[in-house]
Amino acid sequence: MLIKQANKIKPSEITSKSDYLSRRSFIQAAVHAGMAGAAVNTGLMFCSTSALAAPLENVIKNPLFSTDEELTDLESISTYNNFLEFGNKKEDASEKAANFKIRPWTITVEGECDKPGIYDIEDIVKPYQLEERIYRLRCIEGWSMVIPWIGFPLSDVLKRFEPNSNAKFVTFTTVYRPEEMPGQIKNKNVKWPYMEALRIDEAMHPLTILAVGLYGEDLLNQNGAPIRLIVPWKYGIKGPKSIVKISFVSEQPQTIWTLLDPKEFGFYSNVNPEVDHPRWSQRKERRIGVFMKQDTPMFNGYADQVASMYTGMDLKINF
């Protein structure tokens, strides 16, 4: 009962902003000083608000990388989700992810890099200026949204781990927790955990971000809390959620989707209206909240920024 009541009260009502900020700086100081994990974890537990999304502080807008299209409403963004770990229906994630535990959280970094290790999420996120990036999201199923993500460039993070010259690809793995994620048990033809990958230059591209929030608040569980990948010129399947492992590899890896069906899902999965999905056209998309379908632009409208990475490649073969 006590816990339930506590959850009803907004954090802003119990903690003054200055206290909240000083607590933050305490945690930051603690992490900085490399204090024992136990102490850090206590701080982190305090930070995480299970069901309520906390507003994120010190976020700057990045108009350079943002679209000015109309935003998709938060209701749609938070109830219409493909998060197979929680089930195959769009509403499964918002209905079943409430008790998903996002703290404590660590990310294992391994493979072809000089700074492998297990990093606490706060340690990963802390050094960076949070940016709001309003990106188009195009699902391989033919619908799309416009989402104000909050995050920071993936490249800044990856550089810290000092990838070596063998690091040609980067893989991202979602947490495997069947006790909290019923879809990981029910969906037997999928090889869990969810694993996706990018070529190193795609990963280092300034448009590629790790997102920790949207609409000014912490990422909701159904949207991939606590941290997820966003690659706006690729189909949404290339943006794994709730990431626990980043690995630098030398060979192009299989991903969850190429393992499921290599004829239907290519490694690149770049948004491309010219290349049909084997079962449907990708020429048009339905923007959630808009009645008429609209044309899907090449690379989801990011061709100017990313097309050069694929010059000379046959995108019908490397789909």
Partner 1 sequence: MKAYYKPAVFILSLIPFAMLIYYVFTGQLTANPIEFITHHTGDWALYFLLITLSITPLRIITGTNAFTRYRRMLGLFAFFYACLHVTTYFVLDQFFDFQAILDDIVKRPYITVGFTAFVLLVPLAITSTQKMVIRLGNRWRQLHSMIYLITGLAILHYYWLVKADTRTPLTLALIFTVLLLLRLKWVKQARTALFSPK
Please give the residue ranges that form the binding site for partner 1 (CB under 8 A).
75-76, 79-80, 84, 88, 90-91, 140-141, 143, 186-187, 189-190, 260, 276, 279-281, 283-284, 286, 288-289, 291-293
Minimum gap (Å) between residue 137 Cβ and partner 1: 12
Query: Quick one: 218 or 285, whose CB is closer to partner 1?
Result: 285
Enumerate the β-bridge partners of residue 264: none
* Distance of closest approach, residue 196 Cβ to partner 1, in angstroms: 14
Tokens 């299209």 map to which residue?
69
The pairing of beta strand 228-230 with beta strand 217-218:
unpaired
Q: Which residues contact 182 (CB under 8 A, 6 or more apart)?
A: 86, 87, 96
Burial (0-12, 13-18, 19+ Cβ within 10 Å), 269: buried
CB of 135 to partner 1, least distance (A): 17
Q: Is 277 exposed, middle or buried (0-12, 13-18, 19+ CB in 10 A)?
A: middle
Distance, CA of 85 to CA of 98 (rounded, Å): 13
What are 128's two structure tokens?
A: 């960076």
Residue 130 or 190: which CB sits closer to partner 1? 190
Phi, psi at 240, each rounded to 5°: -60, 145
Q: Which is nearer to partner 1, 94 or 208 (CB)?
A: 94
User: Whole-number minimum distance, CB 76 to partner 1, in Å?
Assistant: 4
Nearer to partner 1, 99 or 291 (CB): 291
24: left (phi over 0), alpha (psi -120 to 50) or beta: alpha
Closest residue by Cα to residue 213 from 100, 67, 54, 60: 54
Residue 141 or 217 having the CB closest to partner 1: 141
CB 250 to partner 1: min, Å? 29
Query: What is the nearest approach in angstroms of partner 1 to the Cβ of residue 241?
Result: 15
Toward partner 1, which CB reaches closer, 28 or 76?
76
CB of 77 to partner 1, least distance (A): 8
CA distance 53 to 94: 13
Q: Which is nearer to partner 1, 81 or 208 (CB)?
A: 81
How far is 86 from 103, CA to CA, in rounded Å? 18
Residue among 75 and 114 whose Cβ is closer to partner 1: 75
- Beta-carbon contacts of 286 under 8 Å, excluding residues fewer than 6 positions away, are 142, 143, 144, 293, 294
Q: Look at the block and give the residue holding tokens 């297990």.
A: 118
- Cβ neighbors of 31 (< 8 A, separation 6 or more) are 40, 120, 122, 123, 126
CB of 150 to partner 1, least distance (A): 21
Of residues 162 and 261, the one with the C-beta less far from partner 1: 261
Strands 130-138 and 195-199: unpaired
Closest approach, Cβ 254 to partner 1, in A, equals: 16
Q: How many Å apart are CA 249 and CA 99, to the nearest integer?
A: 33
